[in-house]
Amino acid sequence: MTEPGRIRIEGLTKRYGSATVLDGLSLDVAPGEMLALLGQSGAGKTTLFRCIVRLTTADKGAVFVSGGPLHALEGRALALARREIGLIFQQFNLVRRSSARDNVLIGQLARLPTWRVLFRRFARADRQRALAALDRVGLLQHAYQRADRLSGGQQQRVAIARVLAQECRVILADEPVASLDPATASRVLSLLREVARERGITVVCSLHQVDFAHAFADRIVHLSQGRITGDDGAEALPTAALPKHRPHAPEQG
């Protein structure tokens, strides 16, 4: 049965040469859940995200998103399934010379004809959707400002607006606050949690900082050497077992 937003991973394995990056990993994320994926660099977090969206092909295992078997899809069927998933990255992945609004519009490539995106020929409804998404993240007044003139926190909020305009059911956020100062990071994670609640979006957010995981996640999964070594509610997982918060240089968000 199809459950919009549910992620189900079964026995996912990925090797690069002799190195096993994901080792038979299985995980079930409920629709609308905000899950924090904790682990040190090299634990397999980014590879897991890449395998979910099929940017990398797993050696073994199955991935289902909203009931669709992404591991078995190809071509147009895979492209349609990927519309369900919004990606947020540590380094924002914005077109620096384009405005905040245009970056949100460009993010709709998965649901619009390619020529509309290339020639910036967006329908009025698409432009309104982009502005509404920027308004939701508190950046409507910066809609026509170039991305490279925004602070790091503002750029990450543009990235969130981009996935909101995509109207996805799942957000995968790969270290989205690693380059932000603690105060700005808290605002970004709070925003992710709010939109997850409002829209029933499933959020899987990889982090290094245990304090942020406890503050914002419904559930914490600890990943080490490609295996899940802890899986519990945010209140119950022992802090001593998890990576510590890393300091960041101050930045205005």
Q: What is the mean pLDDT of residues 24-45?
A: 94
d(CA 137, CA 110): 21
CA angle 168, 172, 176 (to 5 degrees): 120
**Local confidence band at 246 (pLDDT 50, 70, 90 cut-offs):** very low
Radius of gyration (C-alpha) of the chain in whole angstroms: 18
Each residue of 76-131: pLDDT tens digit? 899 888 888 999 988 888 999 999 999 998 877 666 666 565 656 778 888 899 99
Distances (CA, A) of 64 to 6, 33, 38, 227, 230: 8, 16, 22, 19, 22
Each residue of 130-177: pLDDT tens digit? 999 999 999 999 999 999 999 999 999 999 999 999 889 999 999 999
Domains within the chain, CATH numbers bracketed: 1-84+169-253 (3.40.50.300), 95-167 (no CATH)
CA angle 60, 167, 183 (to 5 degrees): 90
* pLDDT at site 234: 54
